[in-house]
């Protein structure tokens, strides 16, 4: 099911990039509102959260696609993702199965001695970027809260920020 959600997420990435560029250009141009910093922080937090969700959905789709390929079809054993991994031929002779994980995203190949190796290094990148965007969104939300509180205090004191 997540494979079908990954396709719209993949198509949304260029839209996300264009919207981000347009927003940053609009901030750089003269004539912006006085409260642009708080709105920009909130908008950036929303974009970072959207990026985290989008990347996670792409990863879920990739894990499910690898799992589906390894569980159906004539050429499903050993898993195609494990066969295509960058390992030597002797390692493939000891391949007995695979393991999937959705948190964190992984598709690991299991050898007969119980050890595993990742089918792709792409999952590490997806996990890292998803976490980075998620943490960035959280930090931006907290920062926007501080900016709002600072403005409220300054307004209560009669000062202009």
38-89, pLDDT tens digit by residue? Answer: 888 888 899 899 989 988 988 888 888 888 888 877 666 777 888 777 777 7
Model pTM score: 0.78
| φ and ψ at residue 133, rounded to 5 degrees | -65, -40
Q: Is residue 55 part of a domain?
A: yes
Q: Is residue 116 part of a domain?
A: no
Q: Which residues of 31-46 are buried (b: 16+ CB within 10 A; e: fewer)?
A: eeeeeebbebbbbbbe
Q: Is residue 130 part of a domain?
A: yes
Q: Is residue 84 part of a domain?
A: no
Q: Is residue 87 part of a domain?
A: no
Comparing 21 with 158, which gets the higher pLDDT? 21
């Amino acid at each position: 099911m997540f494979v079908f959600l990954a396709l719209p997420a993949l198509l949304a990435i260029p839209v996300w990039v264009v919207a981000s560029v347009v927003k940053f250009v609009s901030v750089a141009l003269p004539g912006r509102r006085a409260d642009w910093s708080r709105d920009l922080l909130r908008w950036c937090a929303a974009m970072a959260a959207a990026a985290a969700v989008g990347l996670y959905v792409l990863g879920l789709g990739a894990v499910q696609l690898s799992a589906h390929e390894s569980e159906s079809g004539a050429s499903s054993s050993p898993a195609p993702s494990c066969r295509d991994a960058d390992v030597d031929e002797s390692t493939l002779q000891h391949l007995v199965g695979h393991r999937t994980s959705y948190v964190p995203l992984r598709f690991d190949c299991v050898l007969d001695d119980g050890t595993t190796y990742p089918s792709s290094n792409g999952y590490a990148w997806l996990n890292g970027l998803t976490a980075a965007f998620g943490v960035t969104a959280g930090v931006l939300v907290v920062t926007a809260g501080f900016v709002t509180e600072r403005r409220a205090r300054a307004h209560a004191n009669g000062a202009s920020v």
